[in-house]
Amino acid sequence: MLSEQTDFVVIGGGPAGAAAALMLRRHAPGRRVVLIEAGRHDRPKPGEVLPAVAQGLLRQLGAWTLFSDTAFVENRTLVSAWADEPPGEKHSIFSAHGAGWHLDRARFDRLMLRAAEVAGVEVWLGTAVRSATRENSGWRLKLVDADIIAQAVIWTTGRGWGLARHFGAKVTAHGHLAAYSRFFDGAPGDCRMVVEARPEGWWYSADLPGRHRVVACLTDPDLGNGLRQADHWYRSLAATQFVARLLPAGAREITSLVKPAGTATIDPAAGERWVAAGDCLFAADPLSSRGIVHALRSGILAAYAVSDMLEGRENLARARYSMIAAQGFSDYVPMLAAHYAAAARWDTPFWQRRIPLKENATATPRQIMHISDGEDGSHATRHPGL
Ligand SMILES: Cc1cc2nc3c(=O)[nH]c(=O)nc-3n(C[C@H](O)[C@H](O)[C@H](O)COP(=O)(O)OP(=O)(O)OC[C@H]3O[C@@H](n4cnc5c(N)ncnc54)[C@H](O)[C@@H]3O)c2cc1C
């Protein structure tokens, strides 16, 4: 069996992994960086809206030129039918940051890996890391047909937490939201994104490159099972006031996906010669639209942290990284709770579970667990089917 040695391995090639690998090459150009990605980014993936603030991060990573040469859709208008008042429209022309983008996610993820390759990262596609064990001061990672030994590892496997026990980390689910998405083509673009609260949860739709459009319903998984059936999903869509109007008669469904979308965190954020980043560190509710920016930002910080570890500042790197990660989560919790509370006007299970927060916009993570689970806030990996 082959057994290679390297300075750094990044496990997972989504935006967090690509950002981490790119920043490692920029920060420590003499070091060997291998990125291992289980898939090939050749299938539709949710997570399409990239806020304008991402531009600074893409520039910092040296990926801006590649990004701006790609024809993604500019996000010109956000229509929000959320609180109990007439829908609001926000136009990017009035935003200090300008317009964000609606991505073809698979294409964006490929583009980021391309930028990493150009920067000197070795990208291994279509191969998953199956286990991680300590070896000397680093890690031995087992792949299907090879081992690789790294001095330090950045763990960015998104919502796939199968390696958690290998790193001695605990995953906590703070709610079990699920997304029932369908992708369409033949939808003439209008650069709009719509978010609409409904009794069963909330819907969003975004215009995507190539006359594509995504439409998704988000609800708790115990309430959303019927939405797996096309007729139920289309009936629920037809009852929306704004989202349904965005799909012209000629639009054709290409594919459907069901994905977990609840808030989850891991603890600790970093350990001996490893650091987690992106969703793997902190998976946010898509309502916050912060997933990709968080992935890029935490990937960059994780690269600094593992570089410090190799230069003998292990404890400082871990403490500093964990503190930044904890701060990001504590800022998010009250904001999300207040946002849901603003729309909680229906006597339906989805919204009733969120009503206690109406009284308390500074809710703790524990309270978020109560409203979304109705039960015990149990482990994220208990929902493998989502
Ligand atoms: C319905 C929905 C809508 C969303 N909408 C938005 C949005 O509009 N805007 C936004 O910013 N965010 C959105 N998000 C969140 C966003 O998609 C994520 O935050 C983002 O993809 C996180 O990036 P990541 O690199 O951490 O993880 P991922 O993008 O999940 O990448 C992880 C990668 O790791 C790979 N991997 C997993 N296990 C292994 C292994 N063992 N070995 C090797 N590779 C492995 C996977 O194949 C995957 O490519 C949405 C999420 C959902 C569910």
Q: Distance from the CA of 382 to the center of ligand 1, in angstroms? A: 18
104: Cα within 13 Å, side-chain hemisphere: 17
347: Cα within 13 Å, side-chain hemisphere: 0
Q: Which atom of ligand 1 is nearest to the CA of 51?
A: 11
- Pocket test of ligand 1: the residue of 153, 176, 265, 292 to mutate, having most ligand atoms within 8 Å of its CB, is 292
Q: Residue 76: what pLDDT?
A: 76
Ligand 1 contacts CB of residue 328 (under 6 A): no
Q: Residue 73: what pLDDT?
A: 85
Q: Distance from the CA of 357 to the center of ligand 1, in angstroms? A: 28
Q: Residue 72: what pLDDT?
A: 86
Contact yes or no for 8/101 (Cβ under 8 A): no
Cβ neighbours of residue 238 closer than 8 Å, sequence gap 6 or more: 244
Q: Residue 74: what pLDDT?
A: 85
The CA–CA distances, whole Å, from 234 to 184, 197, 210 equal 13, 16, 23
Residue nearest to atom 8 of ligand 1 (CA): 49
Q: Distance from the CA of 279 to the center of ligand 1, in angstroms? A: 6
Residue nearest to atom 5 of ligand 1 (CA): 47
Q: Residue 355: what pLDDT?
A: 75
Cβ burial 303-325 (10 Å sphere, 16+ → b, else e): bbbbbbbbeeebeebbebbbeeb
- For 178-260, CATH gives 3.30.9.100
Q: Residue 1: what pLDDT?
A: 57
Q: Which atom of ligand 1 is nearest to the CA of 279?
A: 26
Cβ neighbours of residue 246 closer than 8 Å, sequence gap 6 or more: 187, 190, 192, 194, 205, 207, 213, 215
Say which residue the tokens 């500093």 belong to: 320
- Pocket test of ligand 1: the residue of 104, 157, 202 to mutate, having most ligand atoms within 8 Å of its CB, is 157
**Chain centroid to CA 143:** 24
Ligand 1 contacts CB of residue 128 (under 6 A): yes
Give Dmax over CA atoms of the chain in angstroms.
64
Cβ neighbours of residue 107 closer than 8 Å, sequence gap 6 or more: 41, 70, 209
The CA–CA distances, whole Å, from 121 to 49, 113, 233, 295 equal 26, 9, 42, 18
Residue nearest to atom 17 of ligand 1 (CA): 47
Cβ neighbours of residue 193 closer than 8 Å, sequence gap 6 or more: 49, 75, 77, 78, 79, 102, 204, 205, 206, 207
In this structure, the strands spanning 146-155 and 73-75 are unpaired
Q: Residue 378: what pLDDT?
A: 25
Q: Distance from the CA of 341 to the center of ligand 1, in angstroms? A: 27
Q: Residue 7: what pLDDT?
A: 98
Ligand 1 contacts CB of residue 38 (under 6 A): yes
Q: Distance from the CA of 292 to the center of ligand 1, in angstroms? A: 8
Strand partners, 361: none
Contact yes or no for 363/333 (Cβ under 8 A): yes
Q: Is 315 helix (H, G, I), strand (E, B) or coil?
A: helix
Q: Rounded distance, CA 369 to CA 365, Å?
A: 6
Ligand 1 contacts CB of residue 156 (under 6 A): yes
Q: Which atom of ligand 1 is nearest to the CA of 130?
A: 41
Q: Rounded distance, CA 127 to CA 143, Å?
A: 7
Ligand 1 contacts CB of residue 349 (under 6 A): no
Ligand 1 contacts CB of residue 160 (under 6 A): yes
Fold of 2-71+103-174+262-326: FAD/NAD(P)-binding domain (3.50.50)
Q: Distance from the CA of 125 to the center of ligand 1, in angstroms? A: 16
Which parts of the chain have pLDDT scores under 50?
Answer: 357-386
Say which residue the tokens 């291994």 belong to: 124
Q: Distance from the CA of 1 to the center of ligand 1, in angstroms? A: 31
Q: Rounded distance, CA 126 to CA 112, Å?
A: 16
Which residue, among 94, 260, 291, has the nearest Cα to 179 in the 3D structure? 260
Q: Distance from the CA of 159 to the center of ligand 1, in angstroms? A: 7
Q: Residue 381: what pLDDT?
A: 25
**Domain boundaries defined on the chain:** 2-71+103-174+262-326, 178-260
Which tens digit of pLDDT belongs to each residue from 180-211?
Answer: 999 999 887 788 889 999 999 999 999 999 99
Q: Residue 382: what pLDDT?
A: 25
Q: Residue 311: what pLDDT?
A: 95
Question: What is the chain's percent helix, strand, coil content, to nearest 5?
Answer: 35, 30, 35
